[in-house]
């Protein structure tokens, strides 16, 4: 029993350690496009969208919001529009995080791109940041969707540990290739 408790705390601590965030609070980003990455399903994507709207509203609703993902871009755009977002950029060609960054930088090349505010899941934020940092040379503000802390993929639950482990594995695998 004590081994299970120790394992639970170690796995939870690893999941929390893996979260990449900045010291600035959400809603204090004055420039840049808010970039929301789609997830494998609408359930998790909805948490990301809700958090992106929180950041957008905290900044006076002036920033454009870019949604990325081949499968869920229509859902994401409709969700944001139904909640008052007006300037939405849709990148609908990507199927993974690297393609999200590559296609988005091409889409935004004609716009003044000072920085981006990257919104994705807690367990995906660090890997997404590293990927976007290679493509976007300007600043990236990390905003993991903290509202998903009590969701299915929470770092407090075994499903969150699996998500973190998968992202950690992909991070290590990608690092060995470069």
| pLDDT tens-digit profile, the chain (178 residues) | 788 778 777 777 777 776 776 766 544 455 688 999 998 889 889 999 999 999 999 888 888 999 999 999 999 999 999 999 989 999 999 999 999 999 998 888 766 566 889 999 888 888 898 889 888 877 888 888 877 777 767 777 787 777 777 777 877 776 655 4
Prediction pTM value = 0.81
Backbone angles phi, psi at 116, to 5 degrees: -125, 155
Range of the domain at 106: 20-149
CA angle 103, 109, 112 (to 5 degrees): 135
- Residue 11 maps to a domain: no
Query: How many domains does one find in the chain?
Result: 1
- Residue 2 maps to a domain: no
Which residue blocks in 68-157 are alpha helix, DSSP H?
Answer: 73-82, 97-107, 125-135
Instruction: Say what the pLDDT of residue 24 is.
Output: 60
């Amino acid at each position: 029993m004590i081994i299970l408790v120790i394992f639970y705390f170690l796995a939870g601590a690893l999941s929390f350690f893996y979260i990449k965030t900045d010291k600035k609070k959400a809603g204090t980003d004055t420039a840049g496009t808010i970039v929301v990455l789609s997830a494998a399903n609408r359930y998790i994507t909805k948490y990301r969208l809700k958090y992106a709207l929180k950041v957008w509203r905290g900044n006076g609703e002036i920033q454009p919001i870019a949604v990325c993902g081949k499968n869920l871009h229509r859902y994401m755009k409709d969700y944001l529009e139904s909640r008052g977002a007006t300037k939405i950029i849709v990148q609908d060609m990507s199927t993974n995080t690297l393609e999200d960054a590559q296609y988005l930088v091409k889409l935004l090349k004609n716009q003044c791109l000072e920085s981006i505010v990257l919104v994705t899941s807690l367990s995906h934020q660090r890997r997404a940041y590293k990927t976007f940092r290679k493509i976007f040379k300007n600043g990236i503000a990390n905003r993991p969707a903290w509202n998903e802390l009590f969701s299915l993929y929470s770092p407090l639950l075994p499903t969150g540990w699996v998500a973190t482990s998968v992202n950690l594995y992909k991070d290590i695998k990608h690092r060995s290739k470069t």
